[in-house]
Amino acid sequence: MDSDVTPSVDGRRDAPSLQSVRLQLVQRYGLVMTSVEVRTTLKFNSASALSMARKRGHLKLTAHRMRGRRHLIFYTEDVAQAIIDLFERSAGTRSSPDF
């Protein structure tokens, strides 16, 4: 089991900390990530799925364009925060088991 993710009282895994997510992403991708890297990291099947999630407000990421670059650029810090936000939102929607 990962050292930065610990099981909770009811046996589920708690969300990782922002610092651990940020560190892992920065070590892997650097300070910025392309749209392809974001899509892969967040497990989106296509570029249009990532785009729709952003447009619908499910994913609060600001894209930046760089002259001469084909893909959109995202700050790695923002992607780390989006991952934590997704964990926190999903933790709030889980129902407790009826044992």
pTM: predicted TM-score of the whole model, two decimal places: 0.75
Q: In this structure, is residue 48 part of a structural domain? A: yes
Quick check: 33 and 25 in contact, CB under 8 A?
yes
Task: Output 32 or 86, whichever has higher pLDDT.
Answer: 32
Residue 30 is assigned to a structural domain of this protein: yes
Name the residue with higher pLDDT: 4 or 38: 38
The domain total for the chain is 1
Tell me how long the chain is.
99
pLDDT at 98: 43
The first and second tokens of residue 2, run together, are 């990962």
Whether residue 31 lies inside any domain: the answer is: yes
Instruction: For residues 8 and 87, give the distance between their C-alpha atoms in angstroms, rounded to a whole number.
Output: 14
List the CATH number of the domain containing 31. 1.10.1660
Q: Which amino acid is at 8?
A: S
Domain hosting 31: range is: 18-90
pLDDT score for 90: 80
Quick check: is 28 in a domain? yes
- 99 belongs to a structural domain: no
Structure tokens at 63: 């894209």
pLDDT one-digit tens code per residue, 8-66: 455 556 667 888 999 999 999 999 999 999 999 999 999 999 999 999 999 999 999 99
- Across the range 93-99, mean pLDDT stands at 46
* Within a domain: 62: yes
* Sign of the C-alpha dihedral computed for residues 26, 31, 37 and 40 taken in this order: positive
Contacts of 97 (CB under 8 A, 6+ apart): 10
Is 13 within a domain?
Answer: no
- Chain position carrying tokens 């099947």: 45
- Position 97 confidence tier, pLDDT thresholds 50, 70, 90: very low
Comparing C-alpha atoms, which of 31, 36, 19, 34 is closest to residue 83?
A: 19
Question: For residue 1, is it within any domain?
Answer: no
pLDDT at 95: 47
